[in-house]
Structure 1
Amino acid sequence: MYIDIHTHAFHPKIAHKAVEHLNEHYDVVCAGSGTIDNLLESERRAGIDMCVVLCAATAPAQVIPANNYAISLQKAHPGQIIAFGTVHPGYEQWEAELDRIEAAGIRGIKLHPDFQGFWLSDERLLPIFEAAQGRFVFEVHIGDRISPEKNPSCPYKLAAILDAFPQLEVIAAHFGGYRMWAHALKTLMVKERPNLWFDTSSTTPFSTPQLVKTLLKACPPERLLFGTDWPLYDPQEEMQRIQEMGELSDSMMDKIMSNASAMPGLLHRDKIPAMAAS
C-alpha cells in the first residue's frame, strides 16, 4: 500500500488564504489548491492509496477546532485519509484532549513549532510527550533557513526529546531538518533510534542529487517514508524527483512508498507497542 505521510488540507473557507501563506513563507507556488478534494485527486493520479493529513493549531484556542476537523476528515474518507490531530503547550486541558482524540481514532499528532508559536525545547511539552508515549505517532516539523540556535525547531532539539523519551514514536519531517540537513546528518542519523522515522517531504526542491543520495544512504531503508508536503508539491512530480535524484531502483522506491503501512499504530486503532530504549 502506497502512503503519502505528509500532506495538508484546509477547510474550503480558508484554503485559499492558507495556500497564499505557504507561497509567501516558503517562496513557492503551491501545486495544489489546499482542498481535500484536490488532494485526493492528486494522490489518485499518482497511484497513492492513502495519505496522512496533518492538522496543527497555531494558538491554544484552535486546538479543539483543529482536532474536530481532523476527526471529521478521517470519518468522511475512511480508507483514504489518516488524520493527525494537534496539541499546543499553551492549551491547559491537553490531557483530556489526548483522551478525546484517541477515543475518536486519531493515531497521530502534528507539531510545527515554527507556525504554532513555541519552541520544541519548551518544558511545557515534556508532560505531553510522557503521556503520549505508546499512544500516538508524532510528526514533527524540523528546520528552517535560520541557524539552529535561533530556530524553534532543529535536529538538536528533536534529538534531546528522543533521548529523554525513548518510547515516543516520531516522524522527523523533511529528512530531519528542512534546510538543516548537515545538522540532521550529525545528530539524528548517527545513532540507531528504533522510534524514529524520516519523511522525504520538502527536500528535493532545495537539494543537489549528491545531498539526496547522502541522506538516503544515512537513513535506515525501513525508516524512510514518502511525503510530499502537499499542497506545496505534486505527488507524481515528487515521486519522479526523488527517484531520479537518488538514483533509486524501482524496488527501493516501492519500499519507501509503502514503509508507512508497516508503522505500529498507523493503520489500526490499537495502542502503539512500547519499544525498548535506543
Structure 2
Amino acid sequence: MIDCHTHVFPPKIAPKLTAAIGRDLGLRPAGDGTAEDLIQHLDRAGLSHALCFTAALRPDQMIPANSWMLSLRRAHPRLIPLGTVHPDHPAWEAELDRLERNGIRGLKIHPDLTGIALDSSRWDSLWEAAQGRFSIMIHMGPVREAGTTLSRPRDLAMVLKRFPDLTVIAAHLGGLYLWEETLAHLAGRNVYMDTSCCPGVIPDSAFEAILKRHDPERILFGSDYPLFAPDTQQTALALLLNAVGLPAEKVFKNGERVARRLQIGGFPDLAPPPGH
C-alpha cells in the first residue's frame, strides 16, 4: 500500500521547518520531516512506498528543489519523489526534460504558496507541456476553515475542461473546507482525489456525498506526513469509509496504480544541463 501525500525536507532544515509549519497551523507534527523518519512511519503503518513532494515558491527555488528530489530518489527507493516547476523560471521546460530523463514523472503544484492562482493563464504552458508526460499533484483549498485560497475546485474544473489529457491528483479531497464546491465541480470528473487532512475534518455527510458521485477507484490515501502519522490517518480514514459503506481496502489499494506510473528506473543525469 502507498501513502500518496507526504512531504520530506533536506535533513539540515527538516526538523526546524517541520516545527515552524506545525506552529503556523497550530499542530504538533507527528514526524520530523526527514526521509529516515518517514520510512519508520511507513513501516509502522505497513506501507511499502510514499509519494513525496517539494514545491518551488519562487523561481530561484525550482532547480535546487528538484535536485533534492533527485537525490532523494537515489538514496531511498521506497520514496517516490515528485518534482516541481515555477512558471516564471525561464528554463522550466528544460527542467521538465531533466526530471523526465531521471525518471521523475510527477509534479507538485501549490498555487497558494507560489502566489499564482490556479486559474491564471501563467500555468497554461505548463498544463500543455505536462499532458501525457507528468501526473500533477495540486494543493487544493485553504489551510484554515473560512480562509482564502488560490486553489478552488471550480478553477481546477475549468483547467481540466481546457486540458482534458492532464492527469491530476487534487489534494485534500478536491478542496480542503470546500466540500460543496468539490461535490459540484470535481466529483465524477476524470481526476484523482487524495484524502490528506480530511479525517477528523470533513463531515460524514459531505464525505458520503462526494464518494457517491466520484469513482471510488480515484480516491487515494494520503497522510500529509509530517503533520500527521500514516498509521493514525489510515485508522481514521478506514472509520470514515466504513461509515459510508465503502470497503477500506479498495481505497488503500488505489495508490499502487498511480505509483506504478511514477516509479521509473534509472538515474542517468542528476545535474542540470550547462547554463540551466
Question: How high is the TM-score relative to the length of structure 2?
Answer: 0.89
Q: Contact 1:8–1:53 (CA<8 Å) still a contact in 2?
A: yes
Aligned partner of 1:50 in structure 2 is: 49
Aligned partner of 1:59 in structure 2 is: 58
Give 1:14 deviation, angstroms.
1.1
CA–CA separation in structure 2 for the residues paired with 1:260 and 1:225: 6
Give me the CA root mean square deviation: 2.1
Q: Deviations over 1:179-214 (max 9, x none)?
A: 11111111101x432xx1010111113123333333
CA–CA separation in structure 1 for the residues paired with 2:92 and 2:167: 18
Aligned partner of 1:176 in structure 2 is: 174
Q: Pick from 244, 250, 253 the counterpart of residue 255 of structure 1.
A: 250
Secondary structure at the aligned position of 2:262 is classed as coil
Q: Pick from 208, 215, 219 the counterpart of residue 220 of structure 1.
A: 215
CA–CA separation in structure 1 for the residues paired with 2:24 and 2:169: 23
Q: Deviations over 1:101-150 (max 9, x none)?
A: 110110100011112222112212101110111110000000014769x5
Q: Contact 1:120–1:152 (CA<8 Å) still a contact in 2?
A: yes
Moved >4 Å (runs of 4+): 248-251
CA–CA separation in structure 2 for the residues paired with 1:228 and 1:216: 18
Aligned partner of 1:274 in structure 2 is: none
1:198 and 2:206 are equivalent in the alignment:
no
Q: Pick from 102, 110, 113 the counterpart of residue 111 of structure 2.
A: 113
CA–CA separation in structure 1 for the residues paired with 2:13 and 2:196: 23
In structure 1, runs of 5+ residues without a counterpart are 270-278
Q: How has the CA–CA distance of structure 1 residues 17 and 241 changed in structure 2, closer, same or farther, with 3 Å as cutoff?
A: same
1:237 and 2:232 are equivalent in the alignment:
yes
CA–CA separation in structure 1 for the residues paired with 2:184 and 2:38: 34
1:246 and 2:245 are equivalent in the alignment:
no
CA–CA separation in structure 2 for the residues paired with 1:64 and 1:170: 22
Secondary structure at the aligned position of 2:119 is classed as coil
Give 1:248 deviation, angstroms.
6.0
CA–CA separation in structure 1 for the residues paired with 2:186 and 2:66: 29
Q: How has the CA–CA distance of structure 1 residues 37 and 4 changed in structure 2, closer, same or farther, with 3 Å as cutoff?
A: same
Secondary structure at the aligned position of 1:228 is classed as coil
AA at the equivalent of 2:202: S
Q: How has the CA–CA distance of structure 1 residues 96 and 73 changed in structure 2, closer, same or farther, with 3 Å as cutoff?
A: same
Give identity over the alignment, percent.
39
AA at the equivalent of 1:211: A
AA at the equivalent of 1:192: R
Q: How has the CA–CA distance of structure 1 residues 237 and 135 changed in structure 2, closer, same or farther, with 3 Å as cutoff?
A: same
Q: How has the CA–CA distance of structure 1 residues 157 and 29 changed in structure 2, closer, same or farther, with 3 Å as cutoff?
A: same
Q: Contact 1:143–1:177 (CA<8 Å) still a contact in 2?
A: yes
Q: Contact 2:241–2:247 (CA<8 Å) still a contact in 1?
A: no
Q: How has the CA–CA distance of structure 1 residues 258 and 55 changed in structure 2, closer, same or farther, with 3 Å as cutoff?
A: same
Number of aligned residues: 264
CA–CA separation in structure 2 for the residues paired with 1:88 and 1:246: 36
Question: How high is the TM-score relative to the length of structure 1?
Answer: 0.89
CA–CA separation in structure 1 for the residues paired with 2:4 and 2:208: 20
CA–CA separation in structure 2 for the residues paired with 1:70 and 1:174: 22
Q: How has the CA–CA distance of structure 1 residues 227 and 15 changed in structure 2, closer, same or farther, with 3 Å as cutoff?
A: same
1:132 and 2:127 are equivalent in the alignment:
no
AA at the equivalent of 1:38: D
In structure 2, runs of 5+ residues without a counterpart are 266-276
